[in-house]
Amino acid sequence: MAGIQTRTLRRLVAGSILVAAVFAFAWFAVDAIREAREVKRANTYVQEIISRLDLAAVPDFHRRVDKVRAFINDNSIFSVDESFWKNKEYPSSFAAGLLAYSKGTASEPAHMECSTRTNLMSEILQKLGYDTRVVAVFDTDETLTSHSFLEVMDPGTGRWETQDPQLDIFWRNKVSGERVSLADAAEGLDSVEPCGRIRCGWDLENREGSKVARMRRFLDIISLTRKERGLRYALYTSRADLNRIYVKDGRRGTFCEVQAKRCRQGFYDIRKFSSYAPGLPR
């Protein structure tokens, strides 16, 4: 009798495991299908944005990337509300919202913030064949409040240049007028300045009232991510207090202790190392 009960129990356990495995497989399959559909939708909307802006007719690199930045800024608004969180799970919805507002079929612009604006601009520029990377900077005087923007490589010079679709600016060297990477120039902020659509200067404000000068507080530590190449590392300037203790998302410690993912491939002195690859000397 005991043997029969044991065999029955084993069959029940084996059956339960099999059912669980089937459900798990089905869940992963459905998730994979959903992700593939989301990627397809995003690609469709990104291509439509490229066509709507007629970027093929804009051969100049700077005019082209500026046009993308302006389109994203003009057709979105900084708002982290219910609409934003609903769309966050489906990033293609942000591109759809931009298009709808630009066509006049939506009554209000897409609700976005710095990272979603940055990610969308990155997708568009990558579709055009440009290399991009995402830069995150932090208010190290307080609780590591962050801001993110995009950098795109100028194919003519092989140098990174900053594009910020949230603040609607790029950055340039004050003397030469050449566009620069803010990640590269963070040590010497007095030598660079932000530029909007009409003029340049640290006193700029975007149309939503954000003061560009506030960025000075965010440029002691710079995180760089190139997801498609598996690169993620951080740089620090001479202004950074490397011993400062933060409390963030339940963790307590130095920057790399509470933001471990940002330092995955190293934490480097910007005065000694380039922003082009982890640990690459200047």
Residue 213: which domain range? 2-269
Asked whether residue 278 is assigned to any structural domain, the reply reads: no
pLDDT classification of 21: cutoffs 50, 70, 90:
very low
Asked whether residue 275 is assigned to any structural domain, the reply reads: no
Digit-coded pLDDT (tens) for 100-146: 999 999 999 999 999 999 999 999 999 999 999 999 999 988 789 99
Asked whether residue 281 is assigned to any structural domain, the reply reads: no
206 close to 166: Cβ distance less than 8 angstroms: yes
229 vs 63, more confident? 63
Number of domains in the chain: 1
Highest mean pLDDT among 24-28, 35-39, 263-267: 263-267
68 close to 58: Cβ distance less than 8 angstroms: no
Q: What is the pTM of this model?
A: 0.85
Asked whether residue 27 is assigned to any structural domain, the reply reads: yes
Side-chain-facing half-sphere of 281: CA atoms under 13 Å: 0
Please say if the pLDDT value at position 191 is more than 50. Answer: yes
Contacts of 163 (CB under 8 A, 6+ apart): 65, 66, 68, 69, 121, 149, 150, 151, 152, 170
Give the span between the Cα atoms of 265 and 279, in whole angstroms: 9
- Name the β-bridge partners of 247: 252
Asked whether residue 279 is assigned to any structural domain, the reply reads: no
Asked whether residue 210 is assigned to any structural domain, the reply reads: yes
Asked whether residue 167 is assigned to any structural domain, the reply reads: yes
Asked whether residue 274 is assigned to any structural domain, the reply reads: no
Percentage of the chain beyond pLDDT 70 is 88
77 close to 111: Cβ distance less than 8 angstroms: yes
Q: What are the CA-CA distances from residue 17 to residues 10, 14, 26, 28, 29 (Å)?
A: 10, 5, 14, 16, 18
Digit-coded pLDDT (tens) for 28-60: 444 556 667 887 898 999 999 999 999 999 999
Percentage of the chain beyond pLDDT 90 is 78
| Both structure tokens of 17 | 């495991």
